[in-house]
Amino acid sequence: MHTPPAQATITILYFAAASTAIGKTVEEIPLPSAGLALANLASLLTSRYPNTGLEKVLQTSQWSVNEEMVDDPTTVTLTGGEEVAVIPPVSGG
């Protein structure tokens, strides 16, 4: 008997304008079996939440992966288990 491996997922954290756009602060989403280029995550999330304003927020946001800011999303491929966060422009102080 052979059990197929559990499907890979990532955890996505939404903050500030990203969370108010979709009414969620965290969720787990499945990844394609080949993984997902971080540069393609914005379009995947936009298709999950059409007409919510999330697309506009993502245009000015950055990504963090496993608590590190990502300088160049084209260099990162998600393979499962990562904690990815949408980081809108900050406003602390």
81 within 8 A of 8, measured Cβ to Cβ:
yes
Q: Is 53 in the site for another protein (CB under 8 A)?
A: no
Please identify, among the stretches 27-35, 36-44, 47-55, 67-75, the one whose residues bind another protein according to the rule CB under 8 A. 67-75
83-87 and 9-14 as β-strands: parallel, antiparallel, unpaired?
A: parallel
Q: Which stretch binds another protein (CB under 8 A): 1-9, 15-23, 39-47, 71-79?
A: 15-23
The answer to whether residues 73 and 39 touch, using CB atoms and an 8 Å cutoff, is yes
Please check whether residue 21 is in contact with residue 46, taking contact to mean a CB–CB distance below 8 angstroms. no
Q: How far is the CB of 7 from another protein (least distance, A)?
A: 23
- Residues forming contacts to another protein in the complex (CB under 8 A) are 13-17, 19-20, 23, 25-26, 64, 67-69, 85, 87-93
